[in-house]
Amino acid sequence: MFENIGRKHIISVVILVAVIVAFPQINKLWLESTEEVRSSLITSENNTHYGLPSEWENTQVICIHFPIEDVTSNMTASNFTDGITYFDVSGSEILINESSEALVNYSEGRDSGVCVGGFENYTAGFNFMLEATNVTNGDIEIGYDDGEWGPYIHTIAGLNANDLTGNFSGAYWSLYHNGITSDVGIGDLVMLENSVIVWEIATW
Amino acid sequence: MVAYHVFDLNPVVSLLLNLTLLGVICWSLFNIEKKYSNGNKFVILGLLAITGITGRILMSPIPNVQPVTVIVLLAGIRMGAKESIFLASVIALFSNLILGNGIWTIYQAAAWSIIGCLGALFSNKLDTSMKLILFAGISGVLFNWFVSVSILHSVGFDMLIPYLIVGIPYDLLHVVGNITFMIWLSNPLTEIMSREIENNLNFEVNEYEPKPF
């Protein structure tokens, strides 16, 4: 049956054995070198959803970034102080982004936070914010006052901007819409189908 | 009472034992075939199915290195599309009884069937051993990527590309394995698959001469 075993046969077996023996190394090298490509996060910096899970592309997302240096200990969301935690519309944690360098409106001193995304068809910003933060069962509770120009957000996830102390005159929760500072408050914000709204602590 | 069956085998040792068993099964099977089958295609199909099933099960310690892809490809080329579909489905089902049955079984059966059918379609063009080896290599990637589509039952489309990228070293194993199996199996399997029925119709028709009235 195998009467004509030639050089080709021997070489093929030698190569096969070599590949099998080296396979764990090959696989490890491959996984390391393709880590960035395989990332399920949106990597295009021009995208409004940059740094967010790719399944959230063209959906509505809210992100809250916490300042690590000033985080008060009574923050109910202290389980968000490490990396960025992503929740889907049902409130299930989908992943924690440990290397939070890829982030919408990322600025220094803010490498912890939480995002809830995958929503559709919201038009009123405030309504969206309340419902989206509500899916995590109180982990991202919102505190606000009804002011003359609509709701004024002072507390997110137990972090009250007025309680922050440091080398500044005052601090407040600042609202970004698709990468730029929103020129209207959350009460007047009209959501787009691909809106990413971000809350960050800003100081003056 | 000492449990003699409970001991940990070094994976390399257990693989060698598996390969020995596979060698014994194939050697005896193909010798028996020579003795009895006379080129009956149905017997040959059964024998190829058993070879594929045992080959896949016993080589399962090495991911993706198994003779099934080459067997169905050669069956498609030398016997025909229907024969390769039969082999693909039977081998996928029965080997998965041991390796694990699931939604992927139908994808594996389909992928191997497609490879067999492509082989049948291009049987006239695949006339040199170099072309056969090349096609065997391509089939490895084709099979893996086709079966990978089954993950869409559980995850979104976004995950497919990262999943395929992760799988590329495993595709490489399948390609190298297929090439090796094609080099080793192409001649012996072609000989068996192309064997014409010799003795079954031995009614000595030629010697019958009608007597004149």
CB–CB contact B162 A1 (8 Å):
no
Q: Would you say domain A54-203 falls under CATH 2.170.130.30? A: yes
User: CA-nearest residue of chain B to A13?
Assistant: B180
Q: Which has the minimum average pLDDT: A111-120, A178-187, B138-147, B152-161?
A: B152-161
- pLDDT tens digits, residue range B68-97? 999 999 999 999 999 999 999 999 999 999
Chain A: closest CA distance from residue B158 (Å): 7
Round the average pLDDT of chain B to a whole number and report it: 87
Q: Which residues contact A77 (CB under 8 A, 6 or more apart)?
A: A64, A66, A114, A139, A140, A157, A158, A159
Question: What ipTM does the predicted assembly reach?
Answer: 0.83
Mutate to test the interface with A, among B12, B59, B184 (most CBs of A within 10 A): B184
CB–CB contact B180 A27 (8 Å):
no
What is the reported pLDDT for B82? 95
Q: How confident is the model at residue A104 (pLDDT cuts 50, 70, 90)?
A: very low
The answer on pLDDT for B210 being more than 80 is no
Residue A43 touches partner B, C-beta closer than 8 Å: no
Residue A10 touches partner B, C-beta closer than 8 Å: no
- pLDDT tens digits, residue range A27-47? 989 887 876 666 667 767 778
List the domain boundaries for chain B. 11-195
- pLDDT tens digits, residue range B12-46? 888 899 999 999 998 898 888 878 777 788 888 99
- pLDDT tens digits, residue range B147-186? 999 988 877 776 788 889 889 999 999 999 999 999 999 9
Chain A: closest CA distance from residue B139 (Å): 17
CATH architecture group of domain B11-195: Orthogonal Bundle (1.10)
Give the whole-number percent of chain A exceeding pLDDT 90.
Answer: 25
Helix (H) or strand (E) holding A132: helix A125-134
Mutate to test the interface with A, among B133, B166, B176 (most CBs of A within 10 A): B176
What is the reported pLDDT for B182? 95
User: CA-nearest residue of chain A to B163?
Assistant: A38
List the domain boundaries for chain A. 7-38, 54-203
